[in-house]
Amino acid sequence: MPDPVRDGCHRGSNLCIRPLFRIQHPSFPVSNPSFSLSSICIDKPRRALENRRFSSPIGKVPQRMKALLETRLGATPLLGRGKVRDLYEIDNALLLVATDRISAFDHILATGIPGKGKILTQISLFWFDLLSNLVPNHLITANVDEFPAALHPYKDQLEGRSMLVRRAGMYPIECVARGYLAGSGWKEYVASRTVCGIPLPAGLLDGSKLPEPIFTPATKSEGGAHDENISHAAVEKIVGKDIAHELRRLTLAIYARASEHAEKCGLILADTKFEFGALNGGIILADEVLTPDSSRFWEAAAWKPGGAQPSFDKQFVRDYLESIHWNKQAPAPGLPDDVVERTLAKYLEAFRRLTGRDLAL
């Protein structure tokens, strides 16, 4: 599994839309209409336009289900397309649509994973509900029938994979919680026996459980650069001491709640990242939450420190790309059917294990 901050899954800059005006509309009232945004940051964008040049897919996507690689919603204002999500402006709200695009090594691949966007959205909705008494979130509704009427003709593109959400002034911090040593945290530990400057005991292995979960924030980079791990003191300088303290408290509280649930499902939540925003004088949880794209879930029964752990993510994709010796430059290759199907099966298993339900795609 890639590190939620720096190992491929969330590399690149944020999709940051800086409005030049306040937006108000009676369809989506806010309790503080004078609130204005400093930025809207959802998902990660493509690092460069050349990433849009795809080579022909290898193999065929199963005919029973097609991947949705790009949405087109008529005159609805498009604010941007990230590596996974398309972002639209809906009056004073936002519409997030999770496509089936999949990226690896900072490139969007030619082949999508059919239904992946629905799985990610439904996992996020599950967690928003489970965490609702811990932290408020940006969700207005995920029911397309409750969207503005202008969106109803596009129900086939939106059903199951879209969320109408409140706008918030997003904090420029990736709020990462780690309970286990892996990814860039393991690399830093080997070099300095620290993670984000936090000293750790000697003798830990790749995959070891930490003495206690730690908050390891990162900057949200812009312009295509990678996110960089930073110290808590650096967070205080960026957002202020009180906000920094609250972001740390919320991050670790959510991680504890989610870890407890994952354990009941036979899973280990090794690490994860959250994004928070300011709205009406408070802090809300935004973007995707605790999905296989933003988190590292391991199979608890197979956990054995000392190397890579069996995980629920796109490892099949990365392994395939390494096997064909792709130079990790555009144009990005496609994926054979067996890699697509195995990757989809992993995402579906993550959904089933976490929610206790099957998902009809």
**pLDDT computed for residue 49 by the predictor:** 30
Long-range contacts of 145-148 (CB under 8 A, 24+ apart): 147/90, 147/95, 148/27, 148/90, 148/91
Task: Indicate if the pLDDT at residue 77 is higher than 90.
Answer: yes
- For residue 260, the number of C-alpha atoms closer than 13 Å in the C-beta half-sphere is 7
Integer distance in angstroms from the first to the last C-alpha of the chain? 24
Tens digits of per-residue pLDDT, 2-36? 444 333 333 333 343 333 223 333 333 333 333 33
Helix (H) or strand (E) holding 17: strand 16-17
Over pLDDT 70: what percentage of the chain?
A: 81
**pLDDT computed for residue 47 by the predictor:** 34
Report the predicted TM-score, pTM, of the whole model to 2 decimal places. Answer: 0.82
Degrees, nearest 5: CA angle 205-208-209: 155
Tens digits of per-residue pLDDT, 283-303? 999 999 999 999 999 999 999
Q: How many residues does the chain have?
A: 361
Distances from the Cα of 125 to the Cα of 132, 190, 201, 238, angstroms: 10, 37, 37, 30
Tens digits of per-residue pLDDT, 97-110? 999 999 998 899 99
Rounded mean pLDDT of the chain? 84
Calculate mean pLDDT across residues 297-321: 92
Residue 296 and residue 308 in contact, taking contact as beta carbons nearer than 8 Å? no
**pLDDT computed for residue 220 by the predictor:** 73
Calculate mean pLDDT across residues 143-155: 98
Task: Indicate if the pLDDT at residue 356 is higher than 70.
Answer: yes
Degrees, nearest 5: CA angle 161-87-262: 45
Q: What is the C-alpha to C-alpha distance for residues 136 and 156, in angstroms, rounded to an integer?
A: 29
Q: What is the C-alpha to C-alpha distance for residues 273 and 251, in angstroms, rounded to an integer?
A: 8
**pLDDT computed for residue 337 by the predictor:** 94
